[in-house]
Structure 1
Amino acid sequence: MIDWIAVADADCAVPAAPPMTDLVRELSRALADPDPLIRDGAPYTVLATWIARGTIEESRRLELGDEMTARFDDPRTEARTFAPLVLDMLVRAGDFKAGWVDAFERWYPAERDLRGHDATLGWLHAVAHGADLLASFGRHPEVAPARMLNLAAARLTAPTDHVYDQLEDDRLARAIALVLTRTDLSEGEAVGWLDPIADRFGADRISTPVPAHISNCLRTLRLLHLLADRGVRPTSEQPAQPLAHRDAVKSGVATVLDRIVKR
């Protein structure tokens, strides 16, 4: 067993043994461990650093991505919800396979365990982790941005009794805004993904207490309206970027919000 804390403390220097294939295999297992101190601790730091630095060879990184897509079908919530984090590391480092998008598209709106945090398992964050990957795919040149916008709409309209409680709405709104910075989006694509949201929620009278799925949607769209107005930062170090078709997006979001809350 590798002491990953010691590896992280040594600036993620590669241990002399075992071979890299075995090291990555152990890190992959750690990123699905039910113990949050393992899953979200030093192994996460080491894997993210090695991927960013190109320490792991490309063929093994692609295999790792395939392992993560298979993990979307894992019976354990913590395994499923940390898979998009690893895929996001890979995509941001320049790795990509079309099958990863397909697998993510199947999982994201279908995930039912939307808890942000669990007292025993630690961070789960299916919506937030998925949102980060949605943003990376949505900005990738080989992925049609409208496809990821439609996926965001599918996540927002999926039935749930869980109210987002750990800023998942903010993460999803930011992801949508980042996709909407794509300059190759048509105006119709930039606002068309809102139609199923309006159709799903606009015809219903809002009861009290407000249903979880409607609360999640309202809060996400409200922040998106703000980001459309002010722009969105890809990272905290970068300046805000404007959304394509800014005024149309603001108008479209406002119209949907009005339709949902109208009595």
Structure 2
Amino acid sequence: MIDMIDWKSVEAADFAVPAGLPMDDLVRELSLALADPDPLVRDGAPYAVLATWTARGVIGAPRRLELGDEMAARFTDPRVEARTFAPLVLDMLVSAGDFRAGWVDAFERWYPAEHDLRGYDDVLGWLHAVAHGADLLAAFGRHREVAPVRMLDLAAARLTAPTDHVYDQLEDDRLARAIARVLTRTDLGEREAVGWLDPIAERFGADRLSTPVPAHLSNCLRTLRLLYVLADRGVRPAQDLPAQPLPHRDAVKSAVAAVLDRIVKR
């Protein structure tokens, strides 16, 4: 172990690597910080340092893969703050070009099963399981080694999973954008682009509408409504980039509209 590092100072120094400290130990400390229950630690300077070092290639490839394995294992951590920040780190790594199939398997097991969907907690700060998971879903869904339909099916599993929590921190926006990003893949067939909606229609179309509207149904409706808009207008891969069209735009719009109509009219 190394002495406590002032990560704010590292950030202020344009993220220069502290002299005389082994990179393995530095990354280990950053990994621990990204699971810290203190939101000022977990979501503060250590996050910025790790993101910058990953993007700049400061951390060697073998150590980045080890870090990814640590994050994949963290999906089973008993602490929600540890579980929900793991996809953020994996998103960093995948975006930098790192990938292991086991990371996808671990994410696939965790995402629809996560029960704590709070966006923000007064003590723990940002948790955001659905939104953070959506970012990783988009990264995996755009990766050449991941079948896009696998991530679309995973999105459907998340949307149909029972919950009493109504999205209140734009989780529906993040998930809809992630789905739309996957749907921009040109190797996705038309049937695959709409088939993932079938279990949503079956899950919600068969039930009697009750009031108040169940949380998971409200979440699903709002996510699909935004997806319809994104299918129509395209989705930006980043804020400063032009919107990308969905190859099967009309089929997706028609299928989403049919699902929404089936749910509303039940």
With the length of structure 1 as denominator, give the TM-score of the two structures.
0.99
Amino acid at match of 2:172: D
* 1:218 matched residue in structure 2: 221
Matched, 1:103 2:97: no
Correspondences of 1:126-145 after superposition (within 5 Å)? 126-145=129-148
Matched, 1:125 2:162: no
* 1:149 matched residue in structure 2: 152
Matched, 1:253 2:256: yes
State which of 178, 181, 187 in structure 2 corresponds to 1:184.
187
Cα separation, 1, equivalents of 2:11 and 2:20 = 16
What are the Cα deviations for residues 164-205 of structure 1, in whole angstroms up to 9, with x where unaligned? 010000000000000000000000000000000000000112
Gaps of 5+ in 2: none
State which of 56, 69, 74 in structure 2 corresponds to 1:71.
74
Q: CA deviation at 1:18?
A: 1.7
Matched, 1:11 2:14: yes
Gaps of 5+ in 1: none
* 1:52 matched residue in structure 2: 55
Matched, 1:33 2:65: no
CA RMSD of aligned residues (A): 0.5
* 2:265 matched residue in structure 1: 262
Equivalences, count: 263
Correspondences of 1:165-180 after superposition (within 5 Å)? 165-180=168-183
Question: SS at 2:254's partner residue?
Answer: helix
Identity of counterpart residues, as a percentage? 83
Cα separation, 1, equivalents of 2:246 and 2:119 = 28
Correspondences of 1:220-239 after superposition (within 5 Å)? 220-239=223-242
1:138–1:148 contact (8 Å) kept in structure 2: yes
State which of 20, 32, 36 in structure 1 corresponds to 2:23.
20
* 2:210 matched residue in structure 1: 207
1:190–1:244 contact (8 Å) kept in structure 2: no
What are the Cα deviations for residues 45-91 of structure 1, in whole angstroms up to 9, with x where unaligned? 00000000000000000000000000000000000000000000000
What are the Cα deviations for residues 220-240 of structure 1, in whole angstroms up to 9, with x where unaligned? 000000000000000001100
Q: CA deviation at 1:17?
A: 2.8
The list of structure 1 runs, each at least 4 consecutive aligned residues, that deviate by more than 4 angstroms after superposition, is: none
Cα separation, 2, equivalents of 1:101 and 1:200 = 25
Cα separation, 1, equivalents of 2:38 and 2:246 = 39
